Amino acid sequence: MGKKSKNPIVQLIRVTLVPLSVLAVLGLVAISFGVLPVEPSVRAYAEKFVFLQYQQPAKPGEAPLYGTGKDDRYFVVFAVLVLTAVRQLLKIMLFVPFGKLMGVPDLRGAKVSQGDAKSKSDVLKILRQAGAKIEPESKRKEKWDTGDSEENNKAVKKYFYKREQELDKFVESAWQWIYYLAAWTTGFTIMYTEHGFSTAAMWTSYPTLLHSALMKSYYLGQLGFWLHMILITLVEPWRNDFPQMMAHHFITSGLIIGSYGMNHVRVGTAVLVEQDFADIFLPLAKMFKYAQWSNTCDIVFALFALTWIPTRHGIFFVIYYSIWKESPELVPKSGTGWIPEKGIFYNEDVVTGYMIALGLFQLLLCMWLRDLLKAVYKALSSSDNVEDHRSDSEEEDDEKTPLLKKDE
């Protein structure tokens, strides 16, 4: 399993994050809709969290458009709270029951430690009673033979430690799969219906000062998700690539904040859509891995590998080139300069900032591409377990646990 931070502040956040989020969401909604009687000023303040701000007057029969401003930060905070609460709700009501239905063992109530008296046969019995499928020796790293020798007992207990985390990992993967599927579908729909897929459309109407409710909710919701992921990554067991993941989350959040504040939402949406597509397949492959659906896992992981390169190292550079070369030619002269009162934030410094931030982002993607290619190579050339450097680490000996195993 991954290592948990022992920092008291992190531990406090871990314990209080979900209950406080649920209470905050319920309280803000109840106040905003008048269920709880409060002073008008308090209700007006709560409504900033629940409803989109800066709605513009609309003609009869037309959907209203929304501007942007500092009060949008309240909606982002609300999005973080809602995502945290919904994640826990879905875990209890959907993900855990569905994971067990798919065959993921529920070992959360079973306690096995290296120092207790349980033998190999005792531990295997616990695993089988929980519905865990025991892989053949050729398909697992932990080896044991007949008998309850000390070496066999340690090997089986180590195997147990790995399997007892599978339901929690299934739940996290299920949450990510649902989010990325919903986020990509929403972003793709916005691009298709509002401004198309041409890179020129990102610049010719700059600055775009008004947005549909769907666009604004999507963009602020994306920011809320990545801020939420910073908290989750911090309080959950730390993986081997914890520094890279935190860097990814902070860069992503920073790019969303910057692009939203400078009215570059269209280019930001394009980046988010191309990034989210591959992420639909990895958590789905993990779900099948933990459920021991080996053939389906292999197929979905192959789809993940096939979609990663053309999106994150192909379409990404199409957008990168458009920022670098197309935008100076396509942004109207009336949209150039640094004029905050008109919502105009476009000059050479802005372009350079995007180039640097997206360049750092691409370096992180290349690090993960290397690990992905290693996993694919091992899957194609060997029947042994495939290790992926993005996976969790074992506390006992700091070995890397396979993210996706070729034969699982």
pLDDT digits (tens, 9 = 90+) for 354-369: 999 999 999 999 988 9
pTM of the model: 0.85
- Give how many domains the chain has, as a whole number: 2
Backbone angles phi, psi at 109, to 5 degrees: -90, -10
In a domain, 311, yes or no: yes
> 391 pLDDT exceeds 70?
no
The model's confidence at residue 235, banded by pLDDT at 50, 70 and 90, is confident
The answer to whether residues 75 and 147 belong to one domain is no
The answer to whether residues 189 and 214 belong to one domain is yes
Say if residue 332 is preceded by a cis peptide, omega within 30 of 0. Answer: no
Percent of the chain with pLDDT over 70: 81
In a domain, 100, yes or no: no
pLDDT at 16: 83
The answer to whether residues 155 and 206 belong to one domain is no
- CB-count exposure of residue 351 (10 Å: 0-12, 13-18, 19+): middle
Kindly state the average pLDDT of the residues 12-31: 89
The answer to whether residues 207 and 337 belong to one domain is yes
The answer to whether 305 touches 372, Cβ cutoff 8 Å, is yes
Q: 211: which 2 tokens?
A: 């947005």
The answer to whether residues 266 and 226 belong to one domain is yes
Buried b / exposed e over 23-45, threshold 16 CB at 10 Å, is ebbeebbebbeeeeeeeeeeeee
**Domain ranges, residue 205:** 8-94+167-381
The answer to whether residues 263 and 136 belong to one domain is no
The model's confidence at residue 104, banded by pLDDT at 50, 70 and 90, is confident
pLDDT digits (tens, 9 = 90+) for 57-84: 988 889 999 999 999 999 999 999 999 9
The answer to whether residues 138 and 51 belong to one domain is no
Kindly state the average pLDDT of the residues 228-243: 84
Q: 47: which 2 tokens?
A: 């409504």
In a domain, 205, yes or no: yes
The answer to whether residues 77 and 112 belong to one domain is no
Q: Which residue has the tokens 């900032």?
A: 353
The answer to whether residues 87 and 153 belong to one domain is no
In a domain, 244, yes or no: yes
The answer to whether residues 364 and 345 belong to one domain is yes
In a domain, 197, yes or no: yes
In whole numbers, what is the pLDDT of the chain averaged over residues? Answer: 85
The one-character DSSP state at 136 is: -
pLDDT digits (tens, 9 = 90+) for 190-218: 999 998 899 999 999 999 999 999 999 99
Which among 77, 240, 274, 92 is positioned nearest to 175, based on CA atoms? 92
The answer to whether residues 289 and 236 belong to one domain is yes
pLDDT digits (tens, 9 = 90+) for 30-53: 999 999 989 999 999 999 999 999
> 279 pLDDT exceeds 90?
yes
Domain boundary among 125, 143, 164: 164
The answer to whether residues 137 and 171 belong to one domain is no
Provide the strand spans (E) within 150-286.
Answer: 211-212
In a domain, 401, yes or no: no
pLDDT digits (tens, 9 = 90+) for 136-183: 666 666 666 666 667 766 777 777 777 778 888 899 999 999 999 999
pLDDT digits (tens, 9 = 90+) for 332-361: 999 999 999 999 999 999 999 999 999 999
The answer to whether 32 touches 50, Cβ cutoff 8 Å, is yes
In a domain, 101, yes or no: no
- 202 Cβ contact partners less than 8 Å away, ≥ 6 residues apart: 195, 264, 266, 267, 270, 322, 327
